[in-house]
Structure 1
Amino acid sequence: MMDLRRKWALLTETVETFRQGRTIPPDLYGRAIPDQTVSLVTDTLDKWFALLDHSTTHTDSNSSGNAAMPVAQTLALTVARRVVLCVDEQVVQLTFTSPDGTDLPAWVPGMHIDLHLPSGRRRQYSLCGDPADRTSYTVAVRLIPDGGGGSQEMHRLDIGTEILVRGPRNGFPFVARGQALFIAGGIGITAILPMVRAAQRAGMDWQLLYCGRNRESMPFLDEIEAWNSPHVRIRTDDVDGHPTPADLLAQVTGGAVYCCGPPPMISAVRTTVDATDATHLYFERFSPPPVTGGVEFEIQLIDTGDIITVAPDQTALHAIRKIRPDIAYSCQQGFCGTCRTRVLAGTPEHRDTRLTPEEQHTDMLICVSRATGGRIVLDL
């Protein structure tokens, strides 16, 4: 077993080296394309290692936290603490602990957990607590009244509620060395904040730009301002206006850019970063990306025979939910696999970052993938 773990450590190091050798990684989370395969291997080895023993993580001996390979597990945790963070009361911070007080699998900045909510919904949230605290996981959730219901359900969780948690997993890698510019928009600060704390501890050359609609809507603002650091810039739309791409990247002097926020912010950074001295770009969304380059097509549901028209700027998931509002989905970005659906006829246009080429012959992720015209028949 130890030989296998050493081989896994070597594979992890190789993948990290590949990541760091790229100027701007091409996919949604700043990962190189081979990570699609590595993520599938990770899922398989997670299950294997969990059967072999009950250790929770493989951590690189480098204390900077540059590499960690957790054994993702499904845990039954309870809500131990609930705190409303913002003046507008739209963000709630939830802390989960094990009922028997045992330590939880270790994590590093950038990781998230999957929460299986009582309704059956599955949602991913970034860990925003202290990685050194092995007794709990902490997330913060903004209420989206007209969303898919996940945030509303999270806001209704009471202390003592038991919930299934899967993870931790890493889709937003952070390397604690060199220079870094952190850009956070709104609730995107939850993914960025542990990175900034780690950068401070590591003595990195770092800058943080934290943007929001107004101060009342910005979580963790008290903590960040208490640092009294010249490395921090706070920008609000009501005072400073919406930031331009130049505003977002004004502090780049080299090194990596880490960005988490709404789609317009991500798009502005992605389209402008090439013109700066940044060497790497890593980013994560908290909402679905816009549909671009789509054409109209049809979906037929095999169970009912219903034929649904999907507009050029609409996702298949959105169109299907009008008829099947109970259909399972989660990330809406093509990586979690919750909405994976078998294709019975037709040829999908795959836009996900999860399915292997072999799996794409038979399945699609309807949250992002579509068709280039005509009709596809789905096992729904």
Structure 2
Amino acid sequence: MTPAPPTTTPPSLTGRFRRDPLLWVATGIAKLWWPVWGTVTRLPDQTGVDDGVLTVRIVDRERVALDENVVALTFASADGGPLPRWHAGSHVDLLLPSGRVRQYSLCGDPADQSSYRIAVRRIPDGGGGSLEVHEALAVGDTLEIKGPRNAFPLVLPGVTDGRDPAARHLRFVAGGIGITPILPMLAHAQRLGFDWSMIYTGRSRESIPFLHELARYGDRVTIRTDDEQGLPDAADLIGPLDGERPVALYCCGPVPMIDLLRTHLDGRTDVELHYERFSPPPVVGGSEFTVTLARTGVTTTVDAEETLLAALRRCNPGVPYSCQQGFCGTCRIRVLDGDPEHRDTLLTEAERADGEILTCVSRCAGDHLTVDL
């Protein structure tokens, strides 16, 4: 006898019915139910999911400082489409061919979705990112970026807070390559007719970029250089304040400049200080602890004024990092043992509970950590 196929309902146990009634009904329901259930519970197709990475092509390359140590790169989308919108103060993550990830401020026109522009100063003794941009990237090359993201937004008086714009003054302070996030802010403030002024400082006129673009603003921009006027103090950077008209001050430049302004303006109520730094912030309130790299068994000490990232790089120079300020996530690793002291603003509570930590800013709440390296 040929066995019945699996889809055939068997007879009832008593032999009274050729097909068992209960099984026949259950089979019919299943044939209708399973396709519906499969549609409802099917896992989404992950191919093509936006991971935040965008492929761009370099369409222009220009030296924008007289000493030729600053190069501006202009990108367009590799597929010819519009680029995501951005606002003044935004930056992108540049995923370099070497695997390095570096953040660079967008310094073009936010209204132009056909291109992005960044500017990079050559730093011979840096982490290698700027040298790679200067020496390995050319017009026509494609590379990947992530973003834009904005950690330095321009908050315009009278636009976001409802107050009279005439009651506020915008003051911009840029040091050297710190001009990059400031440039689109100037254009935006000028386009909207705001009362603003700027102090732009650097080692020399040969070293500071975009002087030709700033010329269109006339005496709104004051250029001062160390070789002509000496190192500026806080009063030189801020300019005259009448004490009556509140000032929103936006600063980007080297750490000593920012620290000088922060100290000078501490306790003042007539100046709002907004700033972005291009280098790691100092470790404040740190305590010494040790860290063990689980995969090698190597243990090293993290000094009270040293970052966990710096200590890890002594043992493993290949440890990835980028912003060194706790917002990009490149340096995240997992803690296997110990109590992390989180100082970032990126990780979620679930990620922290899972043991993740950003080594560039976070530390240990006890005396020892073991990490998955």
2:364 to 353, 356, 371: 371
**Aligned residue-pair number:** 312
Q: Which SS does the other structure have where 2:189 is aligned?
A: helix
- Partner residue of 1:18? none
Name structure 2 gaps, 5 residues minimum.
1-45, 158-164
* In the alignment, structure 1 residue 102 sits paired with structure 2 residue 92: no
Q: Percent identity?
A: 53
Cα gap change, 1:245 to 1:372, in 2 (>3 Å):
farther
1:164 to 121, 141, 144: 144
1:289-326 deviation digits (Å, cap 9, x = unpaired):
12233222211000000001122222111121122111
Q: How does 1:38-77 map to 2 (within 5 A)?
A: 73-77=52-56
User: Using a 3 Å threshold, how does the CA distance of structure 1 residues 357 and 102 change in structure 2: closer, same or farther?
Assistant: closer
- The alignment partner of 2:92 has SS state of strand
Contact 1:114 1:167 in 2 (8 A): yes
CA distance in 2, matches of 1:267, 1:372: 27
Tell me the SS of whatever aligns to 1:243. Answer: coil
Which segment drifts farther, 247-256 or 114-123?
Answer: 247-256
Q: Deviations over 1:243-268 (max 9, x none)?
A: 22222223444131111111111112
Aligned pair 1:263/2:252, yes or no? Answer: no
Please give the alpha-carbon distance, in whole angstroms, between the structure 2 residues aligned to 1:88 and 1:296. Answer: 43
With over 3 angstroms needed to count, the CA separation of the structure-2 counterparts of 1:360 and 1:279, relative to structure 1, is farther
**Structure 1 regions of 5+ residues with no counterpart?**
1-50, 55-70
Residue 196 (structure 2) aligned to one of 203, 206, 220: 206
Contact 2:338 2:366 (C-alpha < 8 Å) held by counterparts: no
Q: 1:290 and 1:175 mapped to 2: Cα distance?
A: 26
Say whether the 8 Å CA contact 1:351–1:368 is kept in structure 2.
yes
Instruction: Choose which of 99, 121, 133 in structure 2 pairs with 1:142.
Output: 121
Residue type of the alignment partner of 1:124: Q
Determine which structure has more spread, i.e. the larger CA radius of gyration: 2
Give the partner amino acid of 1:81: D
Give the direction of change, closer, same or farther, for the CA distance of 1:372–1:242 in structure 2 (3 Å limit): farther
Contact 2:339-2:366 within 8 A present in 1 as well? no
Asked whether 1:244 is paired with 2:233, we answer yes
Contact residue 294 and residue 372 of structure 1 kept, 8 A: no
Please give the root-mean-square deviation of Cα atoms over the aligned residues, in Å.
2.1
Distance 1:202 1:274 in 2: 30
2:130 paired residue number: 151
String of CA shifts for 1:228-279, please: whole Å, max 9, x gaps: 22x2111111222222222222344413111111111111222222444535
Specify whether residues 372 and 247 from structure 1 end up closer, same or farther in structure 2 by C-alpha distance, changes over 3 A only.
Answer: farther
Does structure 2 retain, via aligned residues, the 8 Å contact 1:297–1:373? yes
SS of the residue corresponding to residue 108 of structure 2 reads coil
SS in 1 for 2:261: helix
Does structure 1 residue 222 correspond to structure 2 residue 201?
Answer: no
Pick from 162, 167, 173: which aligns with 1:183? Answer: 173
1:96 deviates by: 0.6
- 1: distance between equivalents of 2:228 and 2:153? 32
- Looking at structure 1, the residues matched to 268 and 171 of structure 2 have their Cα atoms a distance apart, in angstroms, of 12
Give, in whole Å, the separation in 1 of the partners of 2:254 and 2:104: 15
Higher normalized contact order (CA 8 Å, seq sep 6+, divided by chain length):
1
The residue that corresponds to 1:311 in the other structure is 303
271, 275, 282: which is aligned to 1:283? 275
Q: In 2, distance between residues paired with 1:275 and 1:225?
A: 35
**1:303–1:296 Cα change, 3 Å:** same
**In the aligned structure 2, how far is the partner of 1:159 from the partner of 1:365?**
35
Q: Could you report, residue by residue, the CA deviation over 1:203-250 in whole angstroms, capped at 9, with x for unpaired residues?
A: 101111111111111001122134322x21111112222222222223
Is contact 2:58-2:141 (8 Å) kept?
yes
Q: Scaled by the length of structure 1, what TM-score is found?
A: 0.77
Report if the CA contact (8 A) 2:281-2:325 is conserved.
Answer: yes
1:128–1:218: structure 2 CA closer, same or farther, 3 Å change rule? same
Q: Which residue pairs with 1:83 in the alignment?
A: 62
Q: Deviations over 1:106-142 (max 9, x none)?
A: 1111111111111111111110011122111000001
Distance 1:290 1:275 in 2: 21
C-alpha displacement of 1:180: 0.9
